[in-house]
Amino acid sequence: MQASATAALLNNFGGFKAPTNGTNLQILPFALDKDTWDDMLNGGGTDTWRWDTDQQRVVSGSDGVHEINLYPQGTGSPGNRGTVDIGGANNSTADIARQIVYGISNGDLAQMGGELKFNAQGRLPLNGDTGISAGVKDELASIIGQPRIIPIFESVAGPGNNALYQIVEFAGVRIVDVNLTGKMSSKRVIIQPAKVLAIGGTPAAGPQKSWYVYSPAWLVR
């Protein structure tokens, strides 16, 4: 007796809805510019941290997976360092802290029309907030090593809380190092690419719109 089956999964997403299993979307409210992301994919950045699969934690050392600094960065928007509102406008530090640890809730998505979705031009406009607050350093440190999704933006217009980011891609990452105290030159949120399993993703038509983000596998035959 023999039997065979074929499984499939998605790896190109055009948006995200609330997961059907009632969980939150593991998306961070921090956007990275596309030029920096593309440069890292082409070998830019550093390689000083790695994920230890045996210890299930981040340790120092090279693994061929490069890292970049999510913050501070020059976004092109005065007073804004990449924090974006996913949910209500002008998210408080408490809202951002909650989203870092627990993800984007159904309530957050309801305020965005029920989903995060690229428009016909392949963009998702998101309002910006000023800075990455030192008030969320403990929350960021608490998820070091855990896979998360970040928005990738192509352009931004306007200053501070009036900034409008044009999100064009999503990327799977993990935070490997955090320091948001002290002088500006020492502040950092270091990330590296990481595979993320996403429930609630909707497929993209056309060019690649997400990186390192995968759906659960399902049987197609």
Average pLDDT (61-79) is: 76
**What pLDDT, on the 0 to 100 scale, is given for residue 203?**
92
Select from 177, 169, 208, 174 the least CA-distant residue to 193.
174
> 6-10, 34-38, 71-75: lowest mean pLDDT where?
71-75
Stretch (H or E) spanning 52:
strand 49-52
Beta strands in 61-214 (DSSP E): 68-69, 80-84, 115-117, 124-130, 147-157, 164-179, 188-193, 196-197, 201-203, 210-211, 213-214
**What pLDDT, on the 0 to 100 scale, is given for residue 110?**
93
C-alpha distances in angstroms, 104 versus 51, 95, 114, 121?
25, 10, 11, 24
Q: Distance between CA 177 and CA 59 in Å, rounded?
A: 10
The predicted-structure confidence for 178-201, as pLDDT tens digits, reads as follows 998 888 778 889 999 999 999 999
Average pLDDT (30-43) is: 93
Report pTM.
Answer: 0.91
**What pLDDT, on the 0 to 100 scale, is given for residue 79?**
44
- Residue predicted with more confidence, 169 or 216: 169
> Mean pLDDT over all residues of the chain?
88
The C-alpha angle with vertex 200 and arms to 133 and 176, in degrees rounded to 5, equals 40
The predicted-structure confidence for 115-157, as pLDDT tens digits, reads as follows 999 999 999 999 987 667 778 999 999 999 999 999 999 998 8
When pLDDT is cut at 50, 70 and 90, the band that residue 98 belongs to is very high
Beta strands in 87-163 (DSSP E): 115-117, 124-130, 147-157
C-alpha distances in angstroms, 34 versus 38, 97, 149, 169?
6, 24, 14, 8
**What pLDDT, on the 0 to 100 scale, is given for residue 2?**
80
What's the length of the chain?
Answer: 221
Q: Distance between CA 32 and CA 54 in Å, rounded?
A: 30
**What pLDDT, on the 0 to 100 scale, is given for residue 185?**
75
The predicted-structure confidence for 51-65, as pLDDT tens digits, reads as follows 999 999 999 999 999
Q: Distance between CA 121 and CA 205 in Å, rounded?
A: 12
Tokens in use for 118? Answer: 């690229």
